[in-house]
Structure 1
Amino acid sequence: MQQLSGQDASFVYLETPHTPMHIGSVGIYDPSTAPGGFVRFKDILDFIGSRLGGARSFRQRLVRLPFDLDHPYWIEDPDFDLEYHVRHIALPKPGDWRQLCIQVARLHSRPLDLSKPLWEFIIVEGLDNIEGLPPGCFALVAKVHHAAIDGMSGVEMSAAVHDLSPDKPNRIANDDWKADDLPGVSDLLIKSYFNSLRKPLQFAETMARGIPGLARLGQSVSKGDVSIANQRPAPKTRLNGKVGPHRVFDAAPFPLADIRAIKDAVPGATVNDAILAIVGGGLRHYLLGKGELPAESMTAMAPISVRAEGEKAALGNLVSAMVVGLGTHIADPLERLRHVHAEAVNSKALTNAVGARTLTDYSQFMPAGLSGIAARLYTRLGAANQHAPVFNTVVTNVPGSRVPLYFAGARMVGMYGLGPIFDSMGLINTIYSYVDTIAISFTADRDAMPDPAAYAAALQMAYEELKAAALPVAVAPKKSAKGG
C-alpha cells in the first residue's frame, strides 16, 4: 500500500463533474502489418492482458480516507476486470477525421470511475476515410487519471503495450502479482494520525530547502540575470472562464525537421520555443478572427519534469512548471519566436533559482479535505468568471518514439495527446512527437471553442508563416496528413 503524494492527490481533490482530471492519447494504427493483416478485438484483449505486469497503474486503485482526512493510498485491486477497462466501438460511415475528433472529445469528457483502476482503453474501428491513412485503420483512445501518471511516467504504460516490431508474441503474464485486501477504516485513520505528527517536521525541512532558493532568486534579480518585470496576471479571454461538461478535440501535425530548422533561425532557441511560438500565432489568428485579441501577450503554463534518473518509472507526478509569454501581441512571426525564447529563458531561470523540486515538495502539505471543498465551491460560484487568469493555456510536451511502434502487430501511424481543462483554463495544447512528425493536439471547452477546426487551421497558418519567415527560400509547405 503506497500513499499518494500531495501533488498526485491534488488531481483527485480538484476533480468535479465538469472537470475530470485525466490525461489521454489517441494512437492510430494500420492493422495490415499484423499477422494475417488484421487485428480482432479478442486479440487486443489477450495482448493487453499479457502486458499488465509492465506497468503498476494497470491494476492499482485508490482507497480514500473518510472525509479525505489524509491523502489516499494505492492498493492492488482485488476486483480487477480487464474487460471493464478495454472497450470497443466503431465510427459510422464514412469514418472521417471530423467524426473521430467528435468521438474522442465525447469519450474524453466522461470522468473515470474513481473506485476502479484509473484507466480506460477504447478501441475505435472504422477509420476508413482519413486523408493520408489507408482504409481499415483503428484508433486506441487511452484515458489515465492524472493522479496516476504525468507525461513522463505515462511512458511506462505506453511501453508495456507497444513493441519495436510487428511479430512480438504475447508476453507471459506476471504471476507474481497479488491483490491486496481492502484496508479497514481504523487502519487508515491510525496511519493518518501518525502522518499528521510528522507533518510539522517535514514542512520545516521543506522550508529550510526553500530559503536558499529565495536568496538565490533575490541575487539573480539584483544582478539582472532574472527579470520579474513582466510577472503579472494573464489577460482575460473567452478561454478563461468557467468550463462546461463538454469538450472538443483536434490536431495540427507538422514535419519535425521543419520545426528544428525553424528554431535554428533564432540563436539558442529550442524546439519547444518554436512550438510555443506557433501556439502563440495560432491563438492570435483565432482570436483576431473573432475580434477578441487582447492587447497584452497571452501566457502559457509549461510543465517541467523534475524526475531524477532513478525515478523514471516512479508512479504519479514529479513536475514543476514555468509560465511563458506567447507573444500573441506580436504580428511578425520571427519576432514572436525571439520573444518566446527570451520569455522561456527568463522563466526557467526563475524556476531554477527557487528550485523546481522544492516548489513541487510544497504540494505535499495541501490540506486534503479542504482542497476538494474549495474546488467544488469555486466551480459552483463561477469564480473563474470574476478574476484574471494566472495563465491562459497549458502547453505540455510529451516526447515520443523516434522509431515506429506496434500494438498487437499493428503499426502506429499517428499519435496525439489529450489533457484536462478546468475553470479559468479552458484550452490545453498537448505536443506529441512520433518518428518524423510533431503534432499540436488540443482539448478545449466546447462552449469557449465551438469551432475547433478553426483553431487547428489557425495553428497551421501560424506554422506556415513562421516557416516562411525563418526559411525564406523554402517552398510553401503542403498540409500534413493526419496520420503523420
Structure 2
Amino acid sequence: MGSVDAVLFGVEGDPLLRSVITVVVMLDGEPDRSALLERSDRWSRVYPKLRQRPVGSSMSVAPPRWETDPNFDFEYHIRFRRLPRRHGAPADVLEYAERMSEQDFDHARPLWEMAVLTDLDDGAAAVILKIHHSITDGMGGMQMSSVLFDRTPEPPDLGPLPKPPVPHHANLVERIRQATDFEAKEIVSNLSVAAGRFVGGTKDLLTNPIDSTVAAGALTVATAKMIAPQGPPLSPLMKDRSLSVAFTTLEFPLPDLQAVATATESTINEVFVAAVAGGLRRYHLRQGTDVHALRVNMPVSNRSETDAPGGNRWIPARFIVPTDTDDPVDRIRELRPILHGAQHDPALGVSGILYRLLTALPRQVTTMAVGSMMKGVDFVATNVPGPPVDVYMAGAKVTAVIPFAPKGGAATNIALLSYAGRVLLGINSDPAAVSDPGELTTCIREGFDEILALGAQRAAVGLTLVDQVTKASLTEDSVKP
C-alpha cells in the first residue's frame, strides 16, 4: 500500500475513523444480470486490488501489502435484492445504502461489495457500490468505474476477459524483501523531495535571504499546523459522534453553478463551499443557536494524468471558514483567499513525508494522531467530476450517480459529483451530531438556492456581479457633494 492508503486502512482501530466510500447509481430499468456480472468480473480483473486483500504485520514498519485472495468468491461481493416498497424508491434505496455502509468489511476478503436493487417504482433499479478508501479515492474511483459504464444502451463487445491475478502467498523472505524494497523506494523518494527543497532553499537563501527565511518559517508553521491536534469542533451543536450514518441527497443544474462562478469571478468549488457554509449557518439558527465559523476538511487532489487509476492521490487541507457573512457575494469573496491559501498551503508539499512517518509508527499511535487531527473537523467538503454525458450500465440508463464519502470523524461529509449537466450532492451525516438530517438538507438546499439566484441576477443585468458592485460604487461617488 502507499502511505496514504495505509493510513486510511490502519486508523480503523478507531471505528469512528472508518473510511468507506458508498456510491448509489440509479438506473431507469433493471440491468441485464449476465451483462452486469460479466462487466463486474472484468472490472475485478482489470484492477487486481478488487481481488486482493490487505495483509500486514504489526511488527513491520512497512505498510500492509495487497495480496491476491486465494479464496476469492465473486458471488460473495455481488448480491441481487428485490427491495420492499415502503417509503418510495429514493428513500428505500438510501436506507439500504445506509445499512450497507455501516457494516464493516471482512478484512480477510477484498474490500468492496456491490448490491443490485430491483423492483423499484416504474421498473427502476439501483446499484450500490461500497469500496474501502484504501483502494482508491473519488477521482480514481471514477476512472476505475469506466469499465462498468457504457456510452450506449447496447453493451459493446470488449473481447475476451483478461486473465485473473494468480494468488500467491508471500513467504517470510519475500515479505522481508517487500519491506526492504518499500523502505528503499520511500527513502529515495523522500530524500529527493527533501534534497530538492534544500537545494532550492539554499539557492534562495543566497540570492534572497530575507524572503527565503520568511518562506522557510512559513513552511515550518504550516507543517506544524498540519499535524497539530485540532481541538474540539467549532460547532456548539454538532459535537457528538457515532458509527451511524444518515444519507440524504440534493440535485442542481450544473450550468446554474457555472453561471454563478462566472458572475462572481470564482470557481465552482468556491461557490460550492459558500453554499454549504450558508446552509450550515441556517441549520444552526433553526436549532436555536448560532455559529460564526466552522472547521472544514477538504481533500485537494494531486492526481496527474499519468497516475494509474486507483490508489489515493490527495492531500487533506483543513481550515476554518467563516459562516456569519449574510451577503452571498461577500461570502464568496471572503472564502476565495481562504480556499486558495488552503489549496496552496506549503505544508501540502511535504504531506507525503508526514504520511510515511505515520505508517512507521505503531498503529495505535497513528490512530491517536490521526484521530486528534480529524475529530475536531465540523464538516468535510469534497468535489469530484463525473461523466459529462449520459452513460449506461448493463443496458440500463444511469439517471443519477450519488456519492457518499466517509465522515472521517466529522459531523457530516457533503460530496458533490457532476454528471451529465447536473451536480448531485450526497450528504453523509452523523445522527449523533445532526439530530435532524432532513432539516440540514433543507437548509443546504436553501443555501444553494440563495447562491444560484446570483447567476439569474447576472443574466438579467448582463454584468458580472463585480461589475455591478463597481458601477454602484461609482454611482454613489457621483452623487456625493
Please confirm whether the aligned pair reaches a TM-score higher than 0.5, indicating the same fold: yes
Measured in 2, the distance between the counterparts of 1:195 and 1:434 equals 38
Would you say 1:93 and 2:85 are equivalent positions? yes
**For the pair shown, which has the larger CA radius of gyration, 1 or 2?**
2
* Amino acid in structure 2 at the alignment position of 1:333: P
State the Cα distance separating 1:204 from its structure 2 match: 4.0
Rate the CA distance shift 1:210–1:431 in 2: closer, same or farther, 3 A: farther
State the Cα distance separating 1:401 from its structure 2 match: 0.8
Partner deviation per Cα, 1:127-175 (whole Å, 9 max, x = no partner)? 31xxxxxx12111111111111011211232101001001124534434
Number of residue equivalences: 444
Rate the CA distance shift 1:170–1:137 in 2: closer, same or farther, 3 A: farther
Would you say 1:49 and 2:41 are equivalent positions? yes
Q: Which shifted more, 42-51 or 16-25?
A: 42-51
Rate the CA distance shift 1:257–1:388 in 2: closer, same or farther, 3 A: closer
SS at match of 2:235: coil
Q: Say if 1:242 and 1:422, in contact at 8 Å, map to a contact too.
A: no
Partner deviation per Cα, 1:320-378 (whole Å, 9 max, x = no partner)? 233454431112222111112222223233x2x45x45323431232445134552x68
Q: Say if 2:150 and 2:391, in contact at 8 Å, map to a contact too.
A: yes
Q: Which residue of 1 aligns with 2:27?
A: 29
Rate the CA distance shift 1:67–1:291 in 2: closer, same or farther, 3 A: farther
Measured in 1, the distance between the counterparts of 2:411 and 2:339 equals 22
Measured in 2, the distance between the counterparts of 1:25 and 1:113 equals 19
Q: Which residue of 1 aligns with 2:444?
A: 459
Would you say 1:64 and 2:69 are equivalent positions? no
Partner deviation per Cα, 1:192-235 (whole Å, 9 max, x = no partner)? 35655776665544433445788989949969xx9999x89785
SS at match of 1:284: helix
SS at match of 2:398: strand
Would you say 1:254 and 2:252 are equivalent positions? yes
Q: Which shifted more, 392-401 or 85-94?
A: 85-94
* Amino acid in structure 1 at the alignment position of 2:235: T
1:292 to 275, 280, 289: 289
Q: Which residue of 1 aligns with 2:386?
A: 400
Would you say 1:111 and 2:111 are equivalent positions? no
Partner deviation per Cα, 1:374-404 (whole Å, 9 max, x = no partner)? 52x689xxx86xx996542211111101111
Q: Say if 2:380 and 2:413, in contact at 8 Å, map to a contact too.
A: yes
* Amino acid in structure 1 at the alignment position of 2:76: Y
Give matches, 1:113-152, under 5 Å.
Answer: 113-128=106-121, 135-152=122-139
Q: Which residue of 1 aligns with 2:323?
A: 328
Q: Which residue of 1 aligns with 2:152?
A: 165
SS at match of 1:47: helix
* Amino acid in structure 2 at the alignment position of 1:310: T
Give matches, 1:157-236, under 5 Å.
Answer: 157-169=144-156, 171-192=158-179, 203-211=190-198, 219=211, 236=234
SS at match of 1:309: coil
1:436 to 403, 421, 426: 421
1:266 to 261, 264, 267: 264
Q: Kindly, what percent of the aligned residue pairs are identical?
A: 24
1:76 to 68, 75, 78: 68
Measured in 1, the distance between the counterparts of 2:270 and 2:380 equals 14
* Amino acid in structure 1 at the alignment position of 2:83: L
Q: Which residue of 1 aligns with 2:95?
A: 102
Aligned CA-pair RMSD: 3.3
Q: Say if 1:301 and 1:395, in contact at 8 Å, map to a contact too.
A: yes
1:275 to 272, 276, 287: 272
Measured in 1, the distance between the counterparts of 2:272 and 2:397 equals 26
Q: Say if 1:19 and 1:245, in contact at 8 Å, map to a contact too.
A: no
Rate the CA distance shift 1:65–1:189 in 2: closer, same or farther, 3 A: farther
1:415 to 398, 401, 407: 401
Rate the CA distance shift 1:433–1:78 in 2: closer, same or farther, 3 A: same
Rate the CA distance shift 1:102–1:177 in 2: closer, same or farther, 3 A: closer
Gaps of 5+ in 2: 461-481
Measured in 2, the distance between the counterparts of 1:213 and 1:300 equals 32
Measured in 2, the distance between the counterparts of 1:347 and 1:63 equals 35
Measured in 2, the distance between the counterparts of 1:388 and 1:12 equals 15
Would you say 1:306 and 2:297 are equivalent positions? no
Give TM-score, length-normalised by structure 2: 0.82
Q: Say if 2:416 and 2:425, in contact at 8 Å, map to a contact too.
A: yes
Partner deviation per Cα, 1:239-297 (whole Å, 9 max, x = no partner)? 76452121111111101011011112222x001111111111111111111123323x2
SS at match of 1:49: helix
State the Cα distance separating 1:474 from its structure 2 match: 7.2
* Amino acid in structure 2 at the alignment position of 1:25: V
Rate the CA distance shift 1:314–1:39 in 2: closer, same or farther, 3 A: closer
Measured in 1, the distance between the counterparts of 2:236 and 2:39 equals 44
Q: Which residue of 1 aligns with 2:463?
A: none
Gaps of 5+ in 1: 32-37, 129-134, 476-484
State the Cα distance separating 1:299 from its structure 2 match: 3.2
* Amino acid in structure 2 at the alignment position of 1:187: E
Measured in 2, the distance between the counterparts of 1:236 and 1:122 equals 37
Q: Which residue of 2 aligns with 1:35?
A: none
Measured in 2, the distance between the counterparts of 1:51 and 1:111 equals 22
Q: Could you say which structure has the higher helix fraction? A: 2
SS at match of 2:195: helix
State the Cα distance separating 1:303 from its structure 2 match: 1.3
SS at match of 2:113: strand
